[in-house]
C-alpha cells in the first residue's frame, strides 16, 4: 500500500500498542494512533474550540477530546457526539519496514 505522497513519521515501535503520538506532518498537526499492527491518523484538532485532540482518552476506536468530551472514531474522524460540530479530517496511515507513513488528505 505504498504511496509516493506518503510522509515517513515515526517507527511503529515508538508508539506503544493502544498509544498515540502527535507530530507535524507536511506543516499540519497530526495525531497517530496504534491498535496492534494497525495505525490511524487524524488532524490534531477538535473544531469545537480549535483544541488539540492529543492526550485524550482512547477506548477501543473512540477518542474522547481532552477538553470538552467530544468523541471521534479514530478510524474515520467521524464525530460521535457533541460538542464537536463535525468530523476531524482523517488521513491514510500505514506501516512499511517498521515505520509509520501518513498520506495527507487535503480534501
Domains, the chain, in order of start with CATH, read: 7-103 (2.102.10.10)
Q: State the pLDDT at residue 1.
A: 47
40 pLDDT band, cuts 50/70/90, is very high
Q: State the pLDDT at residue 2.
A: 56
- Tens digit of pLDDT for each residue in 43-102? 999 988 889 999 999 999 999 999 999 999 999 999 999 998 899 999 999 999 999 999
Is the pLDDT at 107 greater than 70, yes or no? no
Q: How many helices (H) and strands (E) does the chain have?
A: 0, 10
Other Cβ atoms less than 10 A from the Cβ of 96: the count is 13
- Tens digit of pLDDT for each residue in 4-33? 899 999 999 999 999 999 999 999 999 999
> Could you tell me the CA-to-CA distances from 17 to 22, 36, 82, 107 in Å, in that order?
15, 5, 28, 29
In contact, 100 and 93? CB cutoff 8 Å: yes
Amino acid at each position: 500500500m505504498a504511496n509516493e505522497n506518503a510522509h515517513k513519521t515515526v517507527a511503529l515501535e515508538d508508539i506503544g500498542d493502544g498509544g498515540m503520538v502527535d507530530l507535524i506532518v507536511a506543516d499540519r498537526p497530526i495525531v497517530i494512533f496504534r491498535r496492534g499492527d494497525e495505525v490511524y491518523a487524524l488532524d490534531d484538532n477538535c473544531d469545537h474550540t480549535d483544541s488539540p485532540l492529543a492526550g485524550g482518552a482512547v477506548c477501543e476506536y473512540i477518542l474522547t477530546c481532552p477538553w470538552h468530551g467530544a468523541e471521534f472514531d479514530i478510524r474515520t474522524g467521524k464525530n460521535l457526539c457533541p460538542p464537536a460540530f463535525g468530523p476531524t479530517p482523517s488521513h491514510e496511515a500505514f506501516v512499511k519496514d517498521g515505520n509509520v507513513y501518513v498520506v495527507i488528505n487535503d480534501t
